[in-house]
Amino acid sequence: MAALTIGAKAPEFDLKTLDGKRFSLSDELAHRPVVLVFFKVSCPTCQYALPLFERLHQAYEGQGVTLVGISQNDAKETAAFNKEFGISFPVLLDDTRSYPASNAYGLTNVPTIFWVAQDGEIEVSSVGWLKADFEEINRRMATAGEIAPAVMFKPGEDVRDFRAG
């Protein structure tokens, strides 16, 4: 389980995007809530879950919430993963020498997802793939954008309720 749970204060971090831009959690929270999706490219559950988070990004981009991935891999491996799995949302690089963000959030498994409210409080903390937590994030993103929740799963699509990280 993630060491940081609901109600904890989200640690500040400052990381670079794949294209070298700076991303500060506190700067982003000044404008909107943030969904953090920590992952590793070799993780089968991450390979399963991140394309589903891409659906959230596509549905709600510019709608009052920022969704970012945080890769535990280097830029080359992360770029290849993004291309293979169709990831277009911003992805940050957690320094692979010391993993400052992953360690600050107490990660023991990936994927680990956090919904961080504008006041910096963690309101969703999810380890592995939990369909119920994904659906909760979908509802929250819709509320933040003041729109109806998007349909995330295709009719007849087999989406597991749980996959361990």
**Which CATH class, in words, describes the domain spanning 14-147?**
alpha beta
pLDDT value of residue 45? 97
pLDDT value of residue 100? 97
Is the pLDDT at 2 greater than 60? The verdict is no
Domain range list for the chain: 14-147
User: For 57-77, how does the pLDDT look when each residue is reduced to its tens digit (9 = 90+)?
Assistant: 999 999 999 999 999 999 999
- 3-state helix/strand/coil string of the chain: CCCCCCCCECCCCEEEECCCCEEEHHHHHCCCCEEEEEECCCCHHHHHHHHHHHHHHHHHCCCCCEEEEEECCCHHHHHHHHHHHCCCCCEEECCCCCCHHHHHCCCCCCCEEEEECCCCEEEEEEECEEHHHHHHHHHHHHHHHCCCCCCCCCCCCCCCCEECC
- With pLDDT > 90 as the criterion, what percentage of the chain qualifies? 97
pLDDT value of residue 165? 85
pLDDT value of residue 87? 98
Is the pLDDT at 3 greater than 80? The verdict is no
